[in-house]
Structure 1
Amino acid sequence: MATDETSVDGVAGRYASALFELAKESSNIEGIESDLVNFQSLLDESPDLVRLVRSPVIAADDQQKAMAAILDRAGIGGLTANFLKLVTANRRLFVIQDMIKVYRSLAAKARGEITAEVTSAFALNDEQVSALKETLKASVGKDVTLQSRVDPSILGGLIVKVGSRMIDSSLKTKLQNMKTALNGAGA
């Protein structure tokens, strides 16, 4: 059964929930969400940063120094920077992308929105994002916040996840389905 509940299980959920509560207390939910989106953009653009975040072989001190420099350069400060530094110090940086996802879902829920994860082969322009939001809003009956991700391996089309529902209209999947059908027809 599909639900709109945001999962706060596990390490990512606990950290994201704690950050969300602190953000709510300081009336800065949107500001922190903006900083986290900014950090996610840095991750999306930099394979080196992804290696820093995920690698267990990088020494804790080196990881902390690098994160401090990155946050300073990106202009991420305050509660968000303190949170990211704490996550780094606790050696939980490898789940930061899940923490960001959960935080954004909590923030969207607080605004009365639901979150949709969208994967596309190419970055969507503003017009496409707007049209997709409107289509999803008509489908689910609520405002929709999009978490976009680019994955060139899907070749074309979109993969959209809303709650437990997934719509995969990617060219890669369609080609795989066609290949399966052709292999089955030749048997």
Structure 2
Amino acid sequence: MKINGKSIVRYAKSIYASVTIDKLEAVINELTAVNRLVCEKKHITGIFINPFFNTEDRVKALETIAGKLALADTTKRFLSMLIKSRAIKALPQIITILAALYRDGMKTANAVVATPIALNGEQVQNLKKALSHRLNKEVTIENVIDPTLIGGLIATVGNLVIDTSIKGQLRLLTESLTKE
């Protein structure tokens, strides 16, 4: 059964609304640990995706995992609900959306910054300060090296893309010349 995007967002929002913001990071970490375990151990993955196993078998497997990982009751109930509604396959997407909701609630954002060479500490701090000022949020920087960029950078924060690269400027120039 395929889970649509609206349902995934609804699941993420339901767990977000069920815990206080100060406990949400722990829930995200627990969900991530469960997801990592399920992805790394093929025999566990099989229990959750193989149609041979029924919901009761999956819930029992979850109880075993919850005991090993010492999961909080909120996390166990949420995972159990995902299993019963056949949405456990969407756990990675739910975690991604939940983490974005958490960052938004904490007034933080993660910026992925592509540059042709690694940024030094001072450059990272200056970029953090500029992005934080523009977004009115605390920003963390993830620097990704893109050797295809000649110079400048491309910063992506959620849906916002700031392209100051030479490659981007050349693309804009080409577009404006072809429109005339």
TM-score, normalised via structure 2 length: 0.59
Q: Which amino acid aligns with 2:70?
A: G
- Give the partner amino acid of 1:21: A
* 1:44-83 equivalences in 2 (<5 Å): 44-83=39-78
Give the Cα–Cα distance (whole angstroms) in 2 for the partners of residues 135 and 40 of structure 1: 35
Matches of 2:51 and 2:99, distance apart in 1: 26
Deviations 1:115-172 (A, max 9, x none): 4579xxxxxxxxxxx99x868735743534689xxxxxxxxx68x9642468xxxxxx
Aligned letter for 1:66? Answer: A
1:13 is aligned to 9
Summarize the alignment of residues 14-163 of structure 1 with structure 2, pairs less than 5 Å apart: 14-24=10-20, 28-115=23-110, 137=128, 140-141=131-132, 142-144=137-139, 162-163=157-158
On the 8 A contact 2:34/2:65 being kept in 1, the answer is: no
Cα distance in 2, alignment partners of residues 54 and 146 from structure 1? 36
Q: Report how many residues are paired.
A: 139
Seen in structure 2, the aligned counterparts of structure 1 residues 89 and 54 have a Cα distance that, compared at 3 Å, is same
Write the distance in 2 (CA, Å) between the matches of 1:145 and 1:78. 31
CA–CA distance in 2 between the matches of 1:32 and 1:92?
A: 18
Gapped regions of structure 1 (runs ≥ 5): 1-8, 119-129, 148-156, 167-187
User: Per the alignment, do residues 143 and 92 of structure 1 end up closer, same or farther by CA in structure 2, a change over 3 Å counting?
Assistant: same
Q: Secondary structure at the match of 1:91?
A: coil
Match of 1:176 in 2: none
Q: Distance in 2 between matches of 1:71 and 1:41?
A: 13
Contact 1:136 1:144 in 2 (8 A): no
Deviation string, structure 1 residues 49-92 (Cα, Å, up to 9, x no partner):
34444444532222111111111111112101111111111111
Q: Distance in 1 between matches of 2:157 and 2:47?
A: 30
State the AA in 2 paired with 1:104.
A
| Paired position in structure 2 for 1:150 | none
Q: 3-state DSSP class of the match of 1:76?
A: coil
Distance 1:24 1:45 in 2: 30
| 3-state SS of paired residue (2:109) | strand
